[in-house]
Amino acid sequence: MLESDIHATYFYVGVTSRETATQELADTFIKALGRAFTTKDKPMIDAQQAMIGTAEIMDLNPALLPIEKAGVLARRTLAH
């Protein structure tokens, strides 16, 4: 969900087995997932945003991976 030119909502998820989950395991898992986001994902996203600024991403000629094809095609469709 785009919130503005430089702010977006970022969703992430993790999964554990219902059969083996205890409250302690769930709490530990949630804590680890949050730590992974705040120490790895967020710094990378913030650094990218600092470099991109308000430029249109496709104007920066980014390297594209095959997994990004759907998003790129959607952007191109919406641009026309």
Domain hosting residue 57, numbered range: 23-79
pLDDT averaged per 10 residues, the chain (length 80): 70 82 89 92 91 85 86 84
15 located within any domain? no
- The answer as to whether 31 is a domain residue is yes
- How far apart CA 68 and CA 59 sit, in angstroms, is 16
Q: Determine, yes or no, domain membership for 14.
A: no
The count of domains in the chain is 1
pTM reported for the whole predicted model: 0.61
Q: Is residue 16 part of a domain?
A: no
